[in-house]
Amino acid sequence: MSNTLPSALIASLEGLPGFDRESFLRVHASAEKITSLRLNPHKLTTAGQQAAVLESLSASGVTRVPWSEQGYYLPQRPSFTLDPYFHAGAYYVQEASSMFVEQALRATVDLDAELRVLDLCAAPGGKSTLLQSLISEQSLLVSNEVIKPRAALLADNITKWGSANVVVSNNDPRDFSRLPGYFDVVVIDAPCSGSGLFRRDPDLIPEWSPENVTLCSQRQQRILADVLPALKEDGILIYSTCSFSREEDEQILDWLSEHFDLENVEVPLKEEWHIVSAVSSQNCTGYRFYPDKLQGEGFFIACFRKKNGEQPRKFKEQKNTFLGAKERPRLNDWIIGPEQYEFLMHQEDVLILPKNLAKDISLLQQQLYIRKAGVKAGQLGQKELIPDHQLAASTLVSANIPGVNLSLQEALHYLRKEDPGIRADVKGWVLMRYEDMNLGWAKILPNRINNYYPKELRILKDINGL
């Protein structure tokens, strides 16, 4: 596929802050590929664990993404599919520019506070996993995706990330009008014409047209207008695209400031980041990321504070079925600090929810179509808990649960849902681990091992010859 950019695109970018035609064309012609990822601070809690993962990914060393605490560039792209750390949720492979959401959040909110954060256009989960890493344990992240199969992928990635303070929903933006003034932060990483990704993914180039830019801009306005009532007074809106087009970037900032009572908030930049400040006609500042100026793809981001807004609606208390005092001890041995959680019965499943969020989450269950809430512990059978994969993937699972550390080969067999070929002294439900990181469950019986890795997550790639 050729990297030739549409001449109408180039013509439309002339005069934009920071746009340099020659170097922009040169960097697209180079077809250079940048690989970056962000570590999971809740799973890799020590510097030693982080170093071990980075070392395993690149013996020749990694470099830091300058605007992200957990972001790293790799000199080459390894096969992530064949890396058990990837499946264990040790890191998320994310384009570097978009990690700047971290700076936007740090500049606008108190991250120690109890926040309700909505990531409206969230699949596959890059921004959501970043937001989850930044907010406090007492805060709630609602990670939403309107397209059903993409919401399923999002839920899988949130499961892998492992935390209990996230709800994954599958709703249209307009459904959030049922929650007036509810959120402290709304992040809209809007669907866009995608020109910022043309260097990395030239297959997208033929889909670009000026008409599509116009359509995207109209859709972005619709999404913003639909969701803004759900942001509370003084709440923060973070808007981003991976488009270079002013119709989807600066012109959206102008439209926002003309139609809503919003105050633009600036994000401090360091000169050595080479991010370009772009001031719109209505004096709103956004930030442009050009691949010829920094190590990342095209990106645009801006922040606003809502100056006045709807008062949060009072909702009727929901009736929930929490696990009774008699049944609760059945879960105690499975998780760390069970007293911090409520155990909600949802059909046959037990869901683990942080105590301070249980009411919020059951309210959301009434208002939204929820794909995943908290961490699914599993089903309570007559004799024992039948544990769910979500529990194995979570940071909640007790260190006292028996586990077996697998070699690379064994781990890959396990992740292919094959017999990992191990001999273990333990019996019953056992965590299959790689370098002490949980991959999933197996049940070890006297004469065989049942592999409980979810079928839909299994590796399909051939591992022979590794």
Side-chain-side CA neighbours of 370 within 13 Å: the count stands at 18
Residue 126 labeled ligand binder? yes
Minimum gap (Å) between residue 172 Cβ and ligand SAM = 7
Residue 112 labeled ligand binder? no
Residue 307 labeled ligand binder? no
Strand ranges, E, within 139-216: 140-144, 166-169, 183-189
Is residue 388 a contact residue for ligand SAM (CB under 6 A)?
no
Residue 57 contacts residue 74 (beta carbons within 8 Å): yes
Q: Coil, helix or strand for 217?
A: helix
Of 39, 115, 135, 146, the one binding ligand SAM by CB under 6 A: 146
Span from 83-91, 104-112, 143-151, 246-254 in contact with ligand SAM (CB under 6 A): 143-151
Please give, one letter per residue, the 3-state secondary structure of 115-159: CEEEECCCCCCHHHHHHHHHCCCCCEEEEECCCHHHHHHHHHHHH
Site for ligand SAM in 93-132 (CB under 6 A): 98, 121-127
Minimum gap (Å) between residue 87 Cβ and ligand SAM = 18
Is residue 191 a contact residue for ligand SAM (CB under 6 A)?
yes
Give the span between the Cα atoms of 455 and 409, in whole angstroms.
19
What is the number of other CB atoms lying within 10 angstroms of the CB of residue 215? 13
Residue 127 labeled ligand binder? yes
Give the span between the Cα atoms of 417 and 456, in whole angstroms.
10
Minimum gap (Å) between residue 349 Cβ and ligand SAM = 26
Minimum gap (Å) between residue 17 Cβ and ligand SAM = 22
DSSP assignment string, 334-372: TBS-GGGEEEEEETTEEEEEEGGGHHHHHHHHHHS-EEE
Of 83, 102, 145, 175, the one binding ligand SAM by CB under 6 A: 145
Per-residue binding letters, 267-306, with ligand SAM (x by CB under 6 A)? ----------------------------------------
Residue 121 labeled ligand binder? yes
Per-residue binding letters, 158-187, with ligand SAM (x by CB under 6 A)? ---------------x--------------
Minimum gap (Å) between residue 129 Cβ and ligand SAM = 8
Give the span between the Cα atoms of 20 and 249, in whole angstroms.
18
# residues near ligand SAM by CB under 6 A? 17
Q: Does 303 participate in catalysis according to the annotation?
A: no
Long-range contacts of 341-350, Cβ-Cβ distance < 8 Å, separation of 24 or more: 341/164, 341/396, 343/377, 344/320, 344/373, 344/374, 345/321, 346/373, 348/379, 349/376, 349/377, 349/378, 349/379, 349/388, 350/323, 350/376, 350/377, 350/378, 350/379, 350/380, 350/385
Give the span between the Cα atoms of 29 and 459, in whole angstroms.
34
Per-residue binding letters, 409-448, with ligand SAM (x by CB under 6 A)? ----------------------------------------
Residue 125 labeled ligand binder? yes
Q: Which is nearer to ligand SAM, 147 or 466 (CB)?
A: 147
Residue 172 labeled ligand binder? yes
Is residue 200 a contact residue for ligand SAM (CB under 6 A)?
no
> Which residues belong to the active site?
242
Contacting positions for ligand SAM (CB under 6 A):
98, 121-127, 145-147, 150, 173, 189, 191, 219, 223
Binding residues: 121-127, 145, 172, 189
Binding residues for S-adenosyl-L-methionine: 121-127, 145, 172, 189
